[in-house]
Structure 1
Amino acid sequence: MNQREAKSHAAKLPAGLDAPVFAEPWQAEAFAMTVALHDKGLFSWSEWADALSAEVKKPGAASDGHDYYEHWLAALENLLSAKGVAGKGDVDALAAAWERAAHATPHGKPILLENDPSPTEGRGRPTEGLG
């Protein structure tokens, strides 16, 4: 398909399909982690659907769905905990470690967990079992 054919084909798509699927990078990362963990056999798609459905149906969910990936992330965290892979405290500690590493990393350099200036603050090795 050449460029002209592609543009013609795209013109026939319903409105809004050319918009980004993910509003923020973390949403794409949460999506990718979910797919990768399913592919590793951590949970089935029906388990995932049940976990996500339970989160989306909780009181306070936005009627316009703008908080969908927040529910997605909560469902993933709940499954990680239920499967004994990582409890909420482990996830929170690892997120804090990445945040500290990001702040300690010079602009333009890759953010590495090894850059965390306080590697023992509130965590053991929560990454064990995730890889």
Structure 2
Amino acid sequence: MPGRAILSRPDAEVPACGAAEARPGRPDEPVFSEPWQAQAFAMTLALQERGVFSWSEWASALSKQVHRPDAAADGSDYYEHWLAALEALLAEKRIAAPQLIDEMTAAWRRAAHATPHGQPILLENDPERA
């Protein structure tokens, strides 16, 4: 997984909320129940490693999301909050506007629906892509 080295370097700053420590649940449960969760985690590590945001910025953004009044008490929506925090930081840093994120999300959904089962989902499969 990209960004993994940051957690194993002895001189690296330890993230304020690594997935295994911060995600509610039992120790015998997998950290990621869906591939997109692992991808969002890896993207976050890669962006922090590249200096797009600091761990304290990340911790603050994630904290805002997980403490929203509509957050599930059992933590079942943890990675939805993770993704929302990442999207908010990208918008705050003017890397990706919310409208662009929404447009790309819709394009990937259309591509997924247009892709035959068992084939890789490619953005080129979006029927609305010019």
Q: Give the TM-score, by structure 1 length.
A: 0.75
Aligned to 1:118: 128
Aligned to 2:57: 47
Alignment gaps of 5+ in structure 2? 1-25
Q: Does 1:96 align with 2:96?
A: no
Unaligned runs of 5+ in 1: 1-15, 121-131
Q: Residue 30 of structure 2: SS of its match in structure 1?
A: coil
Cα deviation 1:74-111 (Å, max 9, x = unaligned): 10000000000111111111011111111112222211
How much is the aligned-residue C-alpha RMSD, in angstroms? 1.3
Matches within 5 A, 1:1-131: 16-120=26-130
Q: Which amino acid aligns with 2:118?
A: G
* Greater Cα shift, 103-112 or 34-43: 103-112
Would you say how many aligned residue pairs link Structure 1 and Structure 2? 105
Which structure's relative contact order is higher, taking Cα pairs within 8 Å and 6+ residues apart?
A: 2
In terms of Rg, which structure is larger? 1
Deviation at 1:36, TM superposition (A): 1.1
Q: Percent identity over the alignment?
A: 66
Measure, in 1, the Cα distance between the counterparts of 2:82 and 2:76.
Answer: 12
d(CA) in 1 for partners of 2:129, 2:91 = 22
